[in-house]
């Protein structure tokens, strides 16, 4: 493995010109009988924020593990920063920073010691380490806590420290595996503020997975993963266009009659059952709403007009909600 | 090579830092062996009069307790690898651009260092036990402690490198380490033991470690002939066996750990 990484260093000069920092082709991974990834292909451009969405068990963490060289695919190829994840794993490891799903810090040690150990593992020089430590700790408002043991930190503080740790070796690509899971909404927003500001400042590529669709709206592009297959890949705006301009949720005394009447009067629009409600996709919702109310005879119990969210996109494509408790 | 040494250093540094931070573990690691020496020593002394043992019981007992204490220290320090895996920290290490063999050596040497710190502190009570002490004896004893704890730590790594749960560690250590401790000659002299027991002890590396400690620690208090009565092997053989065992087990644990992912 080591002699291959030497080859990797020789082509380092070309690395800066790469436009697609992650390339994945037909990735397959099986765990005994469970198929985790069933032919996944995508690519991520330099400087992009790329989001991988999917319910639990869709294969998000498997994908990240393969890209981070923690796990090997059964077939298919993946390149990170121009390096093959299987044959040039050390070069890949040098190019990436990781924030794992679970919190991974040495609790007995101080914030500073945690950063120091990481910087040493990545061969960061002492001068660079001191300078970056100062900049990042100050930026993430942990400078005053640098000599405090991590065990006393709150969840949000730990996450910020992990973010700093992942960045202390200036990676080309930052992997974030559900970075805000288990945090309260306020802390979540703050974490994202840090991530996006840092990204602009340092021009790093960000690859993230999340279950919070509101957070995914901030991505440049999103891939939706379901049962080991990518079912959609586009910008959040384009994905939402699939659904249409506006959607109306309608609940009446007799939904079946309402559905039949709707289909007869407005054959151009589609109507669909979502649970106990009817969902209508329309172009110009605010003008259509009064027409709809007049056109339907069963008594209306509730009616709601809104712009489609990614949650609706997800529901449309996969047929289930992203965080289904059942 | 330089980079490998640096990683080795940082893995080692982390182990030692965590050991020193954990003041409870630090304290008990010194306190317990002394407790055993004082109470067990005083109690058992009445059962081994000088006529049977040729020497004072504490002289016989001390090297054994020292050897076992540092072995327990070394093997329980390697438990940190299971801990790291359970809490995910091993992932953080495995995803960094460093070689697997430096992780292993760093871990082994880290565990060895915790045992050396403990051993050094226990050695300091030698003058109070009626055993003659010198700087040279201290250095020689530290070398033997290094050889023993290195081997036990490497064995520990070999055993735990595939374990996923903390509970499995206590099972493994009881199943493998307890027989090693009982057959080490620390509690009773093995040269008078039944043949089957002596035969089993012959294959126990810890037996050679305890014997080596006895040769070195008692070198200024007893004559060679007297020491040979309470040991099974010569010092030279002990050191050779320890060195051979350490080399073999390092090789094996590196191979096994390289194959385990995380």
Residue A324 lies in a domain: no
| Beta strands at A205-210 and A221-226: parallel, antiparallel or unpaired | unpaired
Assess whether A147 and A264 both reside in one domain: no
Supply the range of the domain harboring residue A296: 245-307
- When CB atoms are compared, the residue of A69, A103, A108 closest to B22 is A108
Residue A325 domain-assigned (yes or no):
no
DSSP, res A25 = E
The last residue of a domain, from among A235, A269, A289: A235
CB distance A106–B94 less than 8 Å?
no
Is residue A99 domain-shared with residue A156, that is, in the same domain?
yes
Is residue A312, in this structure, part of any structural domain at all? no
Chain B residues lying within 8 Å of A98, measured CB to CB: 92, 95
Residue A266 belongs to domain with CATH number: 3.30.70.260
What's the gap between Cα A90 and its chain centre? Answer: 24
In degrees rounded to 5, what are phi and psi of residue B259? -80, -30
User: Both A26 and A59 in a single domain?
Assistant: yes
A7 has pLDDT over 50: no
Q: What is the mean pLDDT of chain B?
A: 86
Nearest CA distance, A215 vs chain B (angstrom): 25
Q: Are residues A223 and A288 in the same domain?
A: no
Specify whether A69 is located in the same domain as A215. yes
List the CATH number of the domain containing A76. Answer: 3.40.50.300
Concatenating the DSSP letter of every residue in A230-278 gives: EEEEE-HHHHHHHH-SEEEEEEES-HHHHHHHHHHH-TTS-EEEETTEE
Q: Residue B261: is its pLDDT beyond 80?
A: no
Average predicted confidence (pLDDT) for chain A:
85
Contact A204, A174 (CB under 8 A): yes
The C-alpha atoms of residue B237 and residue B247 are separated, in whole angstroms, by: 15
Dig out the tokens for A242 from the structure. Answer: 């699939």
My answer on whether A126 and A85 are in the same domain is: yes
Residue A81 CA to its chain's centroid (Å): 19
User: Quick one: angle between helices B23-45 and B100-123, nearest 10?
Assistant: 50
Q: Which two tokens stand for residue A207?
A: 């690859």
Residue finishing a domain among A190, A211, A235:
A235
Pick from A68, A69, A106: CB nearest B89: A106
Domain assignment present for residue A171? The answer is: yes
Nearest CA distance, A97 vs chain B (angstrom): 9
* A256 and A229 assigned to the same domain: no
pLDDT band per the 50, 70, 90 thresholds, residue B52: low
Shared domain for A53 and A103, answered yes or no, is: yes
Banded model confidence at residue A80, pLDDT cuts 50, 70, 90: very high
Residue A149 gets which letter from DSSP? Answer: B
Do A167 and A275 fall within a single domain?
no
ipTM above 0.85, yes or no: no
The Cα of A93 is separated from the nearest Cα of chain B by a number of Å equal to 5
Residue A203 belongs to a domain: yes
Q: Which of B138, B162, B147, B154 is nearest to B216 (CA)?
A: B138
What digits encode the pLDDT tens for the residues B59-77? Answer: 888 999 999 999 999 988 8
C-alpha pair distances (Å), B46 with each of A267, B38, B50, B52, B190: 103, 13, 10, 11, 19
Q: Say if residue B234's pLDDT is above 70.
A: yes
Interaxial angle between packed helices A155-167 and A185-202, expressed in degrees from 0 to 180 and rounded to the nearest 10: 10
**Angle between helical axes of B100-123 and B135-160 (0-180°, round to 10):** 140
Same domain? A65 vs A208? yes
Domain total in chain A: 2
Mean pLDDT to the nearest integer, B240-259 = 90
Query: Could you tell me which of B121, B116, B137, B112 has the C-alpha nearest to residue B34?
Result: B121
Of A90, A98, A117, the CB nearest to B10: A117
Structural domain of B104:
2-259
Q: Identify the bridge partners of residue A233 per DSSP, sorted by sequence position.
A: A223
Q: Are A164 and A220 in a shared domain? A: yes
Based on the domain organization, do A93 and A72 belong to the same domain? yes
């Amino acid at each position: 493995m080591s002699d291959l990484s030497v080859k990797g260093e020789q082509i380092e000069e070309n690395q800066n010109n790469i436009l697609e920092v992650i390339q994945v082709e037909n990735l397959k991974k099986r765990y005994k009988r469970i198929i985790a990834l069933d032919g996944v292909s995508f690519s991520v451009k330099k400087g992009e924020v790329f989001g991988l969405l999917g319910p639990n068990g869709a294969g998000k963490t498997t994908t990240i593990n393969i890209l981070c060289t923690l796990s090997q695919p059964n077939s298919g190829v993946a390149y990170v920063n121009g390096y093959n994840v299987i044959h040039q794993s050390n070069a890949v490891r040098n190019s990436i920073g990781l924030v794992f799903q679970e919190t991974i810090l040495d609790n007995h040690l101080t914030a500073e010691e945690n950063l120091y150990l990481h910087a040493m593992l990545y061969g960061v020089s002492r001068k660079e380490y001191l300078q970056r430590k100062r900049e990042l700790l100050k930026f993430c408002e942990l400078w005053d806590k640098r000599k405090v043991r991590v065990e006393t930190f709150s969840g949000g503080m730990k996450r910020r420290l992990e973010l700093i740790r992942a960045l202390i070796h200036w990676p080309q690509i930052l992997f974030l595996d559900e970075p805000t899971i288990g945090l309260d909404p306020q802390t979540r927003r703050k974490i994202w503020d840090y991530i996006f500001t840092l990204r602009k400042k340092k021009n790093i590529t960000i690859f993230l997975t999340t279950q919070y669709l509101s957070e995914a709206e901030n991505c440049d592009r999103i891939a939706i993963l379901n049962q080991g297959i990518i079912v959609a890949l586009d910008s959040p705006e384009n994905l939402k266009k699939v659904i249409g301009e506006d959607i109306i949720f309608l609940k009446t005394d007799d939904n079946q009659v309402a559905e039949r009447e709707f289909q007869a009067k407005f054959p151009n629009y589609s109507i669909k059952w979502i649970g106990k409600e009817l969902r209508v996709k329309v172009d110009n919702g605010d003008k259509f709403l009064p027409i709809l109310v007049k056109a339907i005879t069963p008594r209306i119990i509730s009616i709601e007009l809104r712009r489609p969210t990614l949650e609706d996109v997800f529901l449309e494509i996969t047929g289930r909600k992203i965080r289904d408790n059942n | 090579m330089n980079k490998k040494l640096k990683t080795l250093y940082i893995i080692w540094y982390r182990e030692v830092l965590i050991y020193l931070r954990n003041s409870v573990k630090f304290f008990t690691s010194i306190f317990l062996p002394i407790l055993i020496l004082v109470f067990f020593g005083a109690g058992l002394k009445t059962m081994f009069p000088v006529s049977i043992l040729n020497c004072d019981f504490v002289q016989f007992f001390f090297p054994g307790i020292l050897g076992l204490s540092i072995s327990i220290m070394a093997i329980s320090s390697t438990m940190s690898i299971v801990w790291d895996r359970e809490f995910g920290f091993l992932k953080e290490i495995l995803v960094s651009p460093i070689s697997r063999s430096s992780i292993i050596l760093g871990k082994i040497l880290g565990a060895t260092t915790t045992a050396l710190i403990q051993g050094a502190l226990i050695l300091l009570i030698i003058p109070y036990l009626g055993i003659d002490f010198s700087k040279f004896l201290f250095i020689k004893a530290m070398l033997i402690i290094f050889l023993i704890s290195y081997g036990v730590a490497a064995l520990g790594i070999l055993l735990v490198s595939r374990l996923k749960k903390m509970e499995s560690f206590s099972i493994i250590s009881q199943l493998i380490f307890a027989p090693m401790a009982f057959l080490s000659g620390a509690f009773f002299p093995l040269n008078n033991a039944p043949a089957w027991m002596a035969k089993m002890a012959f294959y126990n590396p810890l037996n050679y470690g305890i014997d080596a400690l006895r040769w070195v620690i008692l070198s200024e208090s007893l004559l060679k002939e007297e020491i040979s009565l309470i040991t099974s092997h010569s010092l030279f053989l002990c050191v050779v066996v320890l060195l051979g065992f350490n080399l073999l087990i390092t090789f094996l644990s590196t191979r096994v750990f390289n194959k385990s992912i995380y």
